Amino acid sequence: MAKKRLLEAINKINFDGEKAFIPYIMAGDGGLNSLKTKLLYLQDLGATAIEVGIPFSDPVADGPTIQSAGERSLANGTTLRLIMKEIESFYEVVKVPLVLMTYYNPILSYGLKKFAVDCERIGISGLIVPDLPIEESDTLRMELASTDVALVPLVSLTSPAERIAKIIASGEGFIYAVTVNGITGVRDGFDEQLKQHFVSLKEKSPIPVLAGFGISTPEQVVNIGALADGVIVGSAIVDAFHQNDLSKIQALIQASKKKVLN
């Protein structure tokens, strides 16, 4: 099945002259019963899709902010199973596409087949599995083949050209282009080569290319967003929810809605 839901949500925003904005939140941070409220809040502000993080004990790609959020969530007793149940209880109300970000281990212990079936049933639009390299993704890909759940690949700044071509060829939903070398978290500056990197990715990719990692201010949303089809913001959103600074979240999303002329 062609993966449509996520792709179409992003294409529609770009067609309207805006950049896609995908906030990341950690499920279970602040209690699992706050998940629905946060999702509806972000949906109403105009998030294109929302990345929902599954807490994991060994989060190798996560910076300090997301790590702490994961620890708070785990301390609340959050598990993938409970998160799936919780989403099932409100998936008819939350309309914005949801992308689950999880390491591979929780999926394996949940059961690959069951996970794919359940994701489809509760309306999940995409998956990001940062520790599953493309060479090892066939099993999961096969389970997802008959669903509208896109397997969103990550491309790093240092991926060689042949690898980028392979990743793009198998990409579904959008390409997650990582803008820094290293882990998630707030950054001051970006690599000067970034512009060329995005020009080249966008040339090669038939699906949207979104930029993520280190984007934490409205200015960065505008500037990095201009290079890509949209942005993903994690740590800044997680922090703002944790500190209950909702105006920060509003300003970040608003920055993606400045019309751009292509």
Ligand X SMILES: O=P(O)(O)OC[C@@H](O)[C@@H](O)c1c[nH]c2ccccc12
Residues in touch with ligand X (CB under 6 A): 24, 51, 53, 61-62, 66, 101, 130, 184-185, 212-215, 232-235
Residue among 53 and 230 whose Cβ is closer to ligand X: 53
Residue among 208 and 214 whose Cβ is closer to ligand X: 214
Minimum distance between the CB of residue 239 and ligand X, rounded to whole angstroms? 9
Q: Which residue among 51, 172, 229, 239 is the active-site one?
A: 51
Q: Is 62 a catalytic residue?
A: yes
Phi and psi torsions of 88, nearest 5°: -60, -30
- How many whole angstroms separate alpha carbon 134 and alpha carbon 166? 8
Minimum distance between the CB of residue 53 and ligand X, rounded to whole angstroms? 6
Beta strands of the chain (E only): which ranges?
A: 20-26, 50-53, 98-101, 124-128, 150-151, 154-155, 175-178, 209-212, 230-233
Residue among 87 and 180 whose Cβ is closer to ligand X: 180
Minimum distance between the CB of residue 146 and ligand X, rounded to whole angstroms? 26
Name the nearest CA neighbour of 216 among 23, 7, 16: 23
Distances (CA, A) of 93 to 5, 40, 88, 101, 228: 16, 8, 10, 21, 30
Residue at shortest CB range from ligand X: 234
Q: Which residue among 18, 29, 62, 229 is the active-site one?
A: 62
Minimum distance between the CB of residue 32 and ligand X, rounded to whole angstroms? 18
Name the nearest CA neighbour of 70 among 40, 23, 28: 28
Residue type, 157: L
Q: Is 148 a catalytic residue?
A: no
Residue among 97 and 234 whose Cβ is closer to ligand X: 234
Q: Which residues pair with 101 in a beta bridge?
A: 53, 128
Write out the catalytic residue numbers.
Answer: 51, 62
